[in-house]
Amino acid sequence: MMRGRAWTGFEAAALQEAMRKSIREFAALLGVETTTVNNWRSGLSAVKPRSTAQAILDTAYLQRASPAERERFGQIVADGEAVWRDRHSTLLRHTQTAVAHTDRVDGGGSAESGDQRITTDLLAVLGRVHKLSRSVNPEVIDQLRISTHHAIANYETVDPAGLVPALKQQRAWLDELIDECSHPKQRSELFDIASETSGLLGYIAVGTGHYSMARAYCLESFHLGDNAQNANLTAWARGLQSFCEYYAERYERALDYARDGLARAEDGPQSVRLAINGVARAMGKLGDADGVRRTVDRAYELVTCDNAPDGVPSSISLGSYSAAQVAGNAATSYLSLAMPDKVEQYAELALADMNNTNSPWGRSLVMIDVARSHVLAEDADLDAAVAIMHDALDTSRGKPMAQVQRRASEFLRDVAERWGDTSQLKGVRDALASKDGEK
C-alpha cells in the first residue's frame, strides 16, 4: 500500500534503521550518494527529500523492505524523533568528550570561547569539503545521455508531442542534479545533456508553431552548451535558433544565427547543417541567388570532407548532415528563388535516399517542394502538382508539423494565384484539413 504523506529525513533514517543497513549500504540500495543519507540523518524532520528521492524511498519501502522491516519502521516512526535522537546520541556524546579532551591537551586549558571558535572553524571546513565531494551516480548520467541521444537520433520516426512530458520532467531534474553536483567533469556532462534536452523542446515547439517558447528553449540550449564549453553544442543550438527564425519568417535573424553557428563549428560536424539548412535557405528567402549557389557548393564540399553518414540521419543530429539532406535543403533554397529546374535536380537526389521509414516528414517536405516547382514552371502542370501534393501528405502519419503546414499553405497560395480556386485546390485543402484533425 502507498504511504499517505511525503517522506522526511527522519522517516528516511527510520527506514534505514528498520532495514538494518549501514549508511553506505542504504545509499547503494537507493542509488543515491552517502552524503544524501547523511543529510537526512542530520536534518531529520527539518529535511524534506527532493521529489525524485521521494519516489525512490516509496519504492524501497514498498518493494525492497520485508513485512518485518516495514513493521519495525512503523514502530520507530511511532516512537518519534526524540527517542531516535536519544538512541543515537551515545556515540555523539563519546565523540564530543574525546574532542573536548583533545582540545584541552592541545590548547593548554583554553577558555570555552576558544573551544567554540575551533568547532565553528571545523564545521566550516567540513561543510566546504562536503560541497566539494557531492557527485551524481555515473550510471544516472550515462542513462540520461543515452535516452536523450536516442530521442534526437529517432526524432524523424516518433510523435514529437509524445516526447514533451518526459523531456520537461528530465529538464527540471537536470537542474536539481546540477545544483547538487560539485564535480567539475560531471557538471559539464550534465550541462551537455541539459543543453540537448532544451534544444529538443525548442525544436518541437517550432514544429507546433509556438515560436516564443521555441526561442526561449533554444536560447537556453545555447547558454547551457556554452557553460559546458562544448563548441559542437553551441553550434548545434545556433542551428536550432536559425531554424526557429526561418519558420517565424525572420530571415535576417535566421541568417545571422547560422553564420555565428558556422564560426563556432569551424569545419566540425554541425558545419554542413548550418551551411545548407541555415545559411542557404535564409539566403534563398532573401533573394540572394549567388549566395545560395556558393553555399550549396560549400555544403557539398563539407559533406565530402566530413565523413558524412549514409542515408538520412535525424534533422537535428549532433553529427553531420548526409548528402541526401544537403540535396533536400538545396531544393528548398532554390524554390525560394523560383528556379524549378534546380529544385527538380536536387529533389531527385534527395528522394533517392529518403523513404517513409527513415524520414517520413523529410520526404514529405521535399515532395511539397517538387509540387510547388511544377506550379512555378513555365509549362506548369496543375494535375501533376496536385497529385504530388496528395502523395506528400500521405507520406507521413498524424497531424502535420508546422513546417509541412507552412509549405502546404504556400502551395495553395501559388495555385490560387495562377489558376484561381479550382476543384483540385479544394481537394488539397480538404486533405490538409483532414490530416490536421488526426492525432
Q: What is the DSSP string of 17-80?
A: HHTT--HHHHHHHHT--HHHHHHHHHHGGG----HHHHHHHHHIIIIIS-HHHHHHHHHHHHH-
Confidence (pLDDT) at 399: 63
Question: Quick one: which of 351, 378, 385, 352 has its CA closest to 365?
Answer: 351
State the Cα torsion 382-395-339-290 to the nearest 10°.
Answer: 170
pLDDT digits over 414-438, tens only?
A: 889 889 888 888 888 888 888 766 5
Question: Where does residue 30 fall: left (phi above 0), alpha (psi -120 to 50 degrees), or beta otherwise?
Answer: alpha
The answer to whether the CB of 64 falls within 8 A of the CB of 26 is: no
First vs last C-alpha separation in the chain: 36
| Whether the predicted model's global pTM rises above the 0.85 cut | no
**What cell numbers appear for 249 in the block?**
519568417
Report how far residue 187's alpha carbon sits from residue 227's, in angstroms, rounded to the nearest whole number: 9
Confidence (pLDDT) at 95: 37
- Secondary structure of 178-213 in HEC code, one letter for each residue: HHHCCCHHHHHHHHHHHHHHHHHHHHHHHHCCCHHH
Encode 15-52: b = buried (16+ Cβ within 10 Å), e = exposed: bbbbbebebeebbebbebbeebbebbbebbeebebeee
Confidence (pLDDT) at 437: 62
Question: Quick one: which of 413, 403, 405, 401 has its CA closest to 431?
Answer: 405
Residue whose C-alpha cell reads 548526409 in the numeric block: 322
User: Is residue 430 classed as helix, strand or coil in its secondary structure?
Assistant: helix
**What cell numbers appear for 295 in the block?**
553555399
Other beta carbons less than 10 A from residue 92's beta carbon: 10
Question: Consecutive 10-residue runs of the chain (439 residues): their mean pLDDT?
Answer: 73 92 87 84 84 86 88 91 77 42 43 48 67 79 89 81 89 89 91 96 92 96 96 96 95 97 92 96 96 96 78 88 93 94 93 78 89 88 90 75 81 89 88 71
